[in-house]
Every structure is written in structure tokens, then in C-alpha cells.
Amino acid sequence: MLKIKQDLLAGLATALDVLSPGAGAKAAFESPKVAAHGDFAITAAMQLAKPLKLNPRQLGEQLREALLALPVFQQWVADIDIAGPGFINIRLKPEAKQRVVHEVLAAGPCFGEAPANGQRLMVEFVSANPTGPLHVGHGRQAALGDAICNLYATQGWQVHREFYYNDAGVQIGTLATSTQLRAKGFKPGDAEWPEAAYNGDYIQDIANDYLAKKTVHSDDRAFTASGDVDALDDIRLFAVAYLRHEQDLDLQAFAVKFDHYYLESSLYTSGKVDATVQKLRDAGKTYELDGALWLKSTDYGDDKDRVMRKGDGSYTYFVPDVAYHIAKWERGFTKVINIQGTDHHGTIARVRAGLQAANVGIPAGYPDYVLHTMVRVMKGGEEVKISKRAGSYVTLRDLIEWTSKDAVRFFLLSRKPDTEYTFDVDLAVQKNNDNPVYYVQYAHARICSVLAAWGGEIAALKNADLTPLDTPAAQALMLLLAKYPAMLADAARDFAPHDVTFYLRELAASYHSYYDAERILVDDEHVKTARLALVAATAQVLHNGLAVLGVSAPLKM
């Protein structure tokens, strides 16, 4: 059906060009607002009526006649209706919709995917400082980043996942002193305990393991504790390695893997920060004022110029960000997406200004950003704000342990990133249709149970005669299957994995309706085989869509 749609679009473009030269470039099909009105809708008549000085309905009639005269429309279209002021509704023949079943079964896990395009994409996400366990906000970011990576992979991109973290600075210093105080026997509430120190129980765990002279391993480092409570640098290195290991465990529980961990400290040790500052100086985009070095960021749309180097000689935080993004560009990533919290909104203008001012060939608008809000957690009808282990927030691992990896991923992806979201723990563990992830997974498991009861091989269905699939319920399900590839492409372009969750819920609902309307394992072998092919294709698309979200497709529930 995918090729059929392309051929019909080409026919529409030809007809539009006849009516108005150049109009064919905007040929498009839309989904009718009411499914009963047809399978595709065309609004071109209303768009062209004014420039052509014609009545839109009259123009719609002309376009209808032109389309009906085309062989491709005669082959695949059952009827074309004019509605209202000039809407054109197209109703496909059953055999046109049936094609998608064969397409899905032939492509299998690759259905909906585009061929490799030779382009590289970096997605930077999570990027949590190693000062504590990952919280629920990091979880939302991990789900978003991983799903966006999966979406772009379906569109032929070579995707690179990167985690950037600050392994130096004030927060790391606070972590070290907090751990040192715990190792010396002090605790929150003591007179010696600083207000800025980290209070979670995990700090005591780090101190205990440091005193025990343990060795900790993470994806990018390992360190053995000396046990010396006065060796603050040793404590810092051990605490960072310990929490990197803890974050690795959080990410493993969430089934998120990174290709590379990039250290902020490396930007300084490699000279990249100094080189970046020199580039900005050489470009004439800096000036000295009040003992500080400033960037002329207002030249690039920022609301005010920004301090780059403070009077004490230290750089402000956006300077290494600029250096890091120049490094991304130099590594060959011409497209970069950063997943960050909405509290980073203010950094976008200054980072992009710095990249433009550096004059290294980076285009305006680089990199792309996806900003997300934090997540509220409800459990037992009350908001949960703290974790015993973390001290001041709910951790990602808390959420996974209370529910499941699948529920956390699906729920955190079910809304636009920039909208407020409340995670309902009680809903996430329910085994009924109110729980969206259960509803979708149950549809897949329900189909698998039917296929298991049949006992045959899916390969035997690939060339099934599908002519019995002519009922409204079957045709509605097939039309929805055919929308999957375009939905994936649109979701990738818009950084919108929530569109995948909406689609999967709609597909699950369509399957449940079909299952209730028609028995599948009937005595008539011809009808049974056609229906089995349809539901097997539906299971495949459910599986493919869930895989994009990083959610499992269970065989039974």
C-alpha cells in the first residue's frame, strides 16, 4: 500500500499541475476528520480556489474528474466524493488496503524503516553530574533521548549516543567534602555539617566503602580507595567513580546504553577551552570590561553580552559548552540534538552565539534542543517528593522498582517533552485497559496467543490470499497499519516519540475492536488464513513501535 499511496500522490500532483502549474509540488493526502468519510482527504481545491478565482466546490469537481480519468486512480480507488465547500474524500478499494499486510510480513522488524542515508547524528542526553543517583527527571531525559535515537535510526541515520558530565567544579567539591565529613563520623544536623552538603544516605554508603578501601568500576573509570580521611582528592576521585557506577546501574535497569562518555575536564586538559576562547578573540567577538572577558553575544540575538572569564580567572559554564560543541562539529556530527531540562533554556542563545562567533563554519541553529519539564510522582493518592536513599528526590531506580522498566519508559514518553507530567505509580501497576502500556502490550500478547493456538509458521502467511479482508473492521485496521511508516518519519522530524505512544494505543484499540468483531480461527481455511495474516502483521507493527520506545512486546501476559 505504501507504493500505491506514492503512485496516487504522483497522480494527484499531475492533476494539480494541469489546474495550476506548480501546484503539484504541494500535493498531499490528509486523514479525514471522520473515518467514515473516506481513507484520504484532499484540501487542494480550497487552497487553489482564491488564486484561480474559482468556486472551491466547482474546482473540486474539476479535480475529481481529472483524478478519476487517471489509470492509477481507476485501479486503486473505489470512489471520490466532494463534501462541504470543496473537501475531496477518497475511498480506496479493499485490495489497495490489503497490500500493507504483505508489506509488513515481508519486511518484518524493518517495516517502516528508511534505507541508510549516510548521515551521522549525535544525541547527547542524561548528562548528569556524578553527585547522586539519577532522579525521575533524568529518567524522562533518558527515555526521550533513547527513543529519539531509535526514531532517527529508523530513518536511516547513523546514531551516536553521548553522555557528557562535569567531573570537576563546585558540585564535585561539595560531594567530596560531604563524603569526607561522613567518613569522619559527622552527619546532617551536626554543627560541623555545612548547609550546602549532600544529605542523602548514599553519601554514607560512599564513605563506608571508602573507609573499607574498596575498588569501584564504572563504564569509563575505576578507582581504589586509600581509606585516608584527610586525602580529599582521593575521596573526590573515589566518590565520582562510585556514583558513576551507581548511575551505570540506573541506566542498565532502564536498558539505556551510551557510545561514549565525554568528560568536561578533558576540554581543559586538551586545551580545547583555551583554543575556543582564542578563536573568539581572533574573530573580534570579545572585549575586556571590569576585569572580566565578555562575549558580544548580542551580535547574535542574545538579550545581553555574556561574561566568559570572570575576574578571578575562571570561566563561566557556557564557555566549555561552546568548546564541547565545536568538538562535536569537528568530530563530524553535522546534526546534534541535546536533550535537557527546561532550566537550560537560557543557555541555548549564548551557546549558539558562541558557536557563530567562533567562525568555524557551524550553521546557525546548531545544535537542536529538546527541553523537558520535571516529573511529579503520585503514589497512594499522594505526591512523593523524597527518597530515603537520595534524601531529596525520587530516583529513577525507585520508579522502576515500584513499577517496571516498560511502564516507566512508556509513561514518560506519553506526553510532549515540554508539558508537565504526573507519573501515577498506582496506574502503572494496574493490569487493565486504563493502563496504556498494559493495553498495548496486551494487544500484542493477545495476538500471539491466537497465533500459538493456530500453531503454524508466520512464513506460511506471507503470500496469503487477502480478499476475505473486506469488512469495515479489517479495512480500518489495515489502513492504520499503513500509516506507521509516515508516523515514524514525522515523529523523528518533530522529536516527538509521544506520537509513537499515541499511534500504538490507537492501533491496539483498532485490533481489540477487530478481535471483538470477527473470529479469527474459523473453519473456513481461506478466511482463517487471511485473518491470521492480518493479525500477524498487526503484532509485527506493535512489536516494531514498542521497540522504538524501548518497551518489550510480551508473548503472553
Minimal CA–CA distance to 218: which of 180, 252, 178? 252
pLDDT value, residue 104 = 98
Backbone angles phi, psi at 479, to 5 degrees: -60, -35
- Dihedral pair phi/psi, residue 481, rounded to 5°: -60, -40
79: which strand partners?
A: 91
198: DSSP letter: -
In Å, the largest CA–CA distance within the chain is: 88
Nine-digit cell at 337?
Answer: 540534538
Where are the domains positioned within the chain?
2-92, 375-428, 433-549
* Topology (CATH) of 2-92: Gyrase A; domain 2 (3.30.1360)
The CA–CA distances, whole Å, from 212 to 16, 179, 186, 198, 229 equal 77, 14, 17, 21, 11
Other CB atoms within a 10 A radius of the CB of residue 493 amount to 11
pLDDT of residue 2: 78
pLDDT for position 1: 74
pLDDT value for 387: 60
Cβ within 8 Å of residue 190, ≥6 positions away: none
195: left (phi over 0), alpha (psi -120 to 50) or beta: alpha
**2-92 and 433-549 share one fold:** no
**pLDDT, tens digit, 9 for 90 and up, residues 462-501:** 999 999 999 999 999 999 999 999 999 999 999 999 999 9
Sheet holding 306-309, edge to edge: 286-289, 292-295, 306-309
pLDDT at residue 390, as a whole number: 58
Residue-level pLDDT at 165 = 87
CA angle 454, 455, 457 (to 5 degrees): 110
pLDDT in tens, 201-256: 899 999 999 999 999 998 777 899 999 999 999 999 999 999 999 999 999 999 99
| Neighbouring residues of 192: CB distance < 8 A, sequence distance ≥ 6 | 181, 186
Superfamily of domain 433-549: Isoleucyl-tRNA Synthetase; Domain 1 (1.10.730.10)
How far from 55 is each of 21, 59, 62, 90, CA to CA, in Å?
18, 6, 11, 20
Residues lower than pLDDT 70 in the chain: 386-391
